Amino acid sequence: HPPPVATSREEQKRLLQHRPDQPQNPKVLRIAIIGAPNAGKSTLSNQLLGRKVFPVSKKVHTTRCKARGVITHEDTQLIILDTPGLTNPLKVKRHNLEKAMLTDPWDSMKHADLVLVLVDVSDHWTRNALSKEVLKCLSQFPHIPSVLVLNKVDILKKKYLLLDIVTDLTEGIVNGKKLEVKSAFKSDSSSSAKPPLQITQASPPGSRAPESPCQQETDQAQEGSGLDNSSGVRDAKSGSITEEAQGPRHYGHKDLKDMKGWPNFQEIFMLAARCGEEVDTLKQYLLMQAKPGPWEFHSDVLTSQSPQEVCDNIIREKVLEYLPLEVPYGVTQVTEMWEEGECGELLIVQNLLVPRKSHMRMLIGRGGKVISKIAQEAGQDLMNAFLCDVRLKLRVEVKS
């Protein structure tokens, strides 16, 4: 079981400053998770950690700063760099966001040993092309191994669309080899059946790469899609044997303009982070990628955030969920009380400051229903994070 988050700032500070309890042969892997806003980065981070410490909401820009999650398994430590969605200066201004949201994902990439690029396949507007910000980020760090993670495959009714999505997002190349996409069904766009998909990776004749997690058949999330290797696969158009593609090269600004995907991905994973489907397959793969090196954190650390930051994030998540449009982005949180009760429970009082009276009425709701629901749901999430009883009281005021 993952450790709980410490309930006091002093305890968390002590754990973070504590020298890590190094095992005999420690291994470590720093993972940056990048993608467009609302692709599911925090949901995936929480599932990998096994405890909710990052805020999750349907609204964009729920994650406002970079924070670290720590998974300690036997002699291996995975450090997850949960980053804000890659955005641009215009959106930062529109949503009243911190300027750090423009630089944090780039800073995370500088420290990463591996990058996971998350794509929401349920969004038909964005799923067939990586955003320009993501491509720019990858092109700046072509030496860092990258993995494509297709998220929310459980929502995608027409599973055969995964073939086109994979081809577009990889530019037809995975792990330095060309892909040949075979379909074992008639292309009938009206069909909602779940036909078998097969993506074949071309290898040089006589060689066979070891099976990786993404090449084994996965049952639920991929609904019968398998990624497997074959030696010397024939090219679909010319009938000739496909040669091994060239290794990573540097892509300039002009190249990126014409690119939809990234041809340097090492692996592809298809999963549903919200319900945990295939997340363990990805976790096992990440543990296998760790390299010998000292741990950065004590094994009792789950996140680099302070307890108050975890609390603020979870409350803000609920405010984002229950308030319409841009309203929640103007809410300021002030913690009035944070102390331990007589029976070991955590007592928290937080003021939510809003710019207008109309916002205050929305946040309180008729008969106080909205604010009660926010306090109840946030309190439950905090209990799961801290593993103790939490009594949360929220007050709403207009900013003076």
- Number of independent structural domains in the chain: 2
Pairing of strands 173-174, 177-183: antiparallel
Same-domain status, 173 and 311: no
On whether residue 67 sits in a domain, the answer given is: yes
The string of pLDDT tens digits covering residues 25-46 is 999 999 999 988 888 988 999 9
On whether residue 238 sits in a domain, the answer given is: no
Specify the pLDDT at position 330: 83
Closest CA to 316 of 303, 334, 339: 334
Specify the pLDDT at position 51: 93
Same-domain status, 354 and 268: no
Rounded Cα gap, residues 325 and 329, in angstroms: 9
On whether residue 175 sits in a domain, the answer given is: yes
Same-domain status, 46 and 160: yes
Contact status, residue 199 vs residue 217, Cβ threshold 8 Å: no
On whether residue 41 sits in a domain, the answer given is: yes
- Tokens 């297709």 belong to 150
The string of pLDDT tens digits covering residues 248-293 is 566 776 677 788 999 999 999 999 999 999 999 999 999 999 999 9
Same-domain status, 287 and 316: no
Same-domain status, 267 and 363: no
Same-domain status, 265 and 336: no
On whether residue 163 sits in a domain, the answer given is: yes
Same-domain status, 58 and 141: yes
On whether residue 197 sits in a domain, the answer given is: no
Q: Is 279 left (phi over 0), alpha (psi -120 to 50) or beta?
A: alpha
Specify the pLDDT at position 324: 81
User: Looking at residue 260, which CATH number applies to its domain?
Assistant: 3.40.50.300
The string of pLDDT tens digits covering residues 91-131 is 445 445 444 444 445 677 888 999 999 999 999 999 999 98
On whether residue 216 sits in a domain, the answer given is: no
Which residues of the chain register pLDDT less than 70?
60-66, 82-106, 181-250, 253-254
Specify the pLDDT at position 218: 36
- Find the domain containing 58 and state its range: 9-183+254-292
Same-domain status, 317 and 273: no
Q: What torsion, rounded to 10 degrees, do the Cα atoms 106, 109, 115, 119 define?
A: -10
Expressed in angstroms, the distance from the first to the final Cα of the chain is: 45
Specify the pLDDT at position 35: 87
Same-domain status, 179 and 325: no
